[in-house]
Amino acid sequence: MSNLLDLLIAGLATGAIYAIVAVGFTLLWQTSQTINFAQGEFVMLPAFLMLAVMHAGAPFWLAILIGIALSLLLLGLGFKMLLVDPMLRHGVLPLAIATMALAIGIKEAAKQFWSAEASPFPSIIPGGDITIFGRVVALQSIGVLVLAILAVLGLTTLLNRTSIGHQMQAAAQNPTVARIIGVPVERMILLTFLINAFLVALASLLITPIYLAKFSNGEVLGQAAFIAAIVGGFNQVRGAIAGGLLIGVVDNLSAAYVSTQYRAAVPLVLLIAIILFRPQGMLGRPEERTV
One-letter amino acid of 196 = N
Count of residues making up the chain: 291
Of the listed pieces 12-20, 51-59, 108-116, 246-254, which binds another protein according to CB under 8 A? 108-116
Distance CA 235, CA 280 (A): 8
Letters for 207-226 (x = contact with another protein by CB under 8 A, - = none) are: ------------x---x--x
Q: Considering the rule CB under 8 A, would residue 147 count as an interface residue with another protein?
A: no
3-state secondary structure 138-203: EHHHHHHHHHHHHHHHHHHHHHHHCHHHHHHHHHHHCHHHHHHCCCCHHHHHHHHHHHHHHHHHHH
Q: Dihedral, CA atoms, 144, 64, 110, 34, nearest 10 degrees? A: 70
- State yes or no: residue 257 binds another protein (CB under 8 A): no
- Contact yes or no for 284/233 (Cβ under 8 A): yes
101 lies in the site for another protein, by CB under 8 A = yes
The piece of 49-57, 70-78, 248-256, 262-270 that touches another protein (CB under 8 A) is 262-270
91 lines the binding site for another protein (CB under 8 A) = yes
Q: Determine, following the binding rule CB under 8 A, whether residue 264 of this chain makes contact with another protein.
A: yes
Extended strands (E) in the chain:
129-132, 135-138
Query: Does 262 help bind another protein (rule: CB under 8 A)?
Result: yes
Q: Is 14 in the site for another protein (CB under 8 A)?
A: no
Q: Please give the size of the binding site for another protein, defined by CB under 8 A.
A: 40
Considering the complex, what minimum distance in angstroms separates the CB of residue 157 from another protein?
29
Distance CA 255, CA 263 (A): 5
Contact range with another protein by CB under 8 A, out of 20-28, 139-147, 206-214, 257-265: 257-265
**With binding defined as CB under 8 A, does residue 200 bind another protein?**
no
Q: Quick check: 158 binds another protein (CB under 8 A)?
A: no
- Residue 137 forms beta bridges with which residues? 130
In degrees, rounded to 5, the angle at the alpha carbon of residue 224 between the alpha carbons of residues 221 and 225 is: 85
Can residue 109 be called a binding residue for another protein (CB under 8 A)? yes
Which CA distances in Å does 10 have to 1, 92, 144, 247?
A: 15, 36, 10, 12
| The binder of another protein chosen from 87, 125, 256, 283 (CB under 8 A) | 87
Nearer to another protein, 117 or 129 (CB): 117
Q: What radius of gyration, in Å, describes the C-alpha atoms of the chain? A: 19
Binding another protein by CB under 8 A: which of 4, 5, 55, 94? Answer: 94
State the residues that interact with another protein by CB under 8 A. 35, 83, 86-87, 90-94, 96-98, 100-102, 104-105, 108-109, 111-112, 219, 223, 226-227, 230, 261-262, 264-265, 268-269, 271-272, 275-276, 279, 289-291
